């Protein structure tokens, strides 16, 4: 049986799926047609229902729960992992300053954009773009501020940029919950027995990667964007954790909390189906 599988080229995703897609573990009769793409591209594809299994941001998942269910393994949740709001100028920014600024974001359907709206609901001058272009947009002053994710958390200071606020920290302080960043979802049309096998395979793939860590595989290196191995390891250690192996009750509750906030922000979505965890 062959299923389409999409995830990002970032080290946390390639670390998670390496052993599975490169057949370092037994795939139990399943085969995968793999597509690597930027997370906002994956979000858009999820809204179209293009892939059988996909990485996606939680706001995109919330919009797709009539079509997709959440797998128990592979998600990115945690504390201290949230997006950062950055600027070129090393000056204090008031709430009004932020809400009146142009802000580069990694996409309308990303958790980063949701957390920006949660913290600064009056911020309307957003400029969606590929996450890897955001530092350049701020440096060139095409936008005044930017919301950075992924490996840019580790590189922005080297480029002369400055943190204005940690959006994840604001979420944790207000909600007392881990930050749900990205999910692995599967089409509801896939048989439950197959879903259970895939859950197990993703967990095995992560366990295989951990068993060989801190070695960084060629698959991870191949798809990293000009990162040295130290940055790759910091990226993996930040975004892959016990929640990636198993959401557990705390992870599921955090997702329910984020879903509640999302629904309040999007009143037209209040009649959406309930979340479906596998």
Which residues are catalytic, by number? Answer: 150
- 16 contacts: CB under 8 Å, gap ≥ 6: 7, 74, 202, 205, 206, 209, 240, 244
Q: Helix crossing, 167-175 with 111-119: angle to 10°?
A: 70
Structure tokens at 191: 């048989």
Distances (CA, A) of 272 to 17, 62, 268, 276: 30, 8, 9, 12
| Sheet with 126-128, edge to edge strand ranges | 126-128, 103-105, 145-148, 84-87, 162-166
- Please name the residue ranges forming H helices in 3-79: 11-21, 39-48, 58-62
């Amino acid at each position: 049986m062959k299923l389409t599988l999409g995830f990002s080229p970032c080290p946390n995703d390639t670390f998670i799926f390496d052993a599975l897609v490169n057949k370092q573990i037994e795939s139990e009769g399943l085969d995968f047609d793999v597509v690597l793409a930027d997370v906002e591209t994956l979000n858009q594809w999820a809204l179209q229902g293009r892939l059988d299994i996909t990485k996606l941001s939680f706001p995109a998942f919330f919009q797709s729960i009539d079509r997709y269910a959440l797998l128990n393994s592979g998600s990115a949740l945690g504390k201290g992992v949230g997006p950062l709001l950055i600027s070129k100028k090393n000056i204090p920014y008031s709430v009004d300053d932020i809400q009146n600024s142009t802000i580069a974001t990694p996409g309308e359907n990303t958790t980063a954009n949701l957390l920006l709206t949660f913290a600064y609901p009056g911020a309307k001058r957003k400029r969606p773009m590929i996450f890897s272009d955001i530092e350049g947009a701020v440096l060139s002053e095409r936008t005044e501020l930017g919301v950075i994710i992924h490996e840019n958390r580790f590189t922005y200071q080297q480029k002369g940029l400055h943190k204005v606020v940690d959006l994840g920290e604001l979420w944790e302080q207000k909600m007392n919950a881990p930050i749900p960043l990205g999910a692995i979802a599967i089409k509801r049309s896939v048989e439950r027995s197959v879903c259970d096998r895939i859950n197990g395979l993703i967990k095995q793939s992560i366990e295989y990667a951990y068993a060989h860590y801190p070695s960084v595989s060629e698959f991870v290196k191949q798809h990293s964007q000009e990162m040295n191995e130290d940055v790759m390891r910091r990226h993996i250690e930040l975004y892959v954790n016990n929640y990636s192996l198993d959401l557990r009750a705390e992870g599921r509750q955090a997702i329910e909390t984020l879903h509640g906030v999302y629904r309040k922000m999007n009143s037209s979505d209040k009649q959406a189906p309930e979340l479906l965890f596998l």
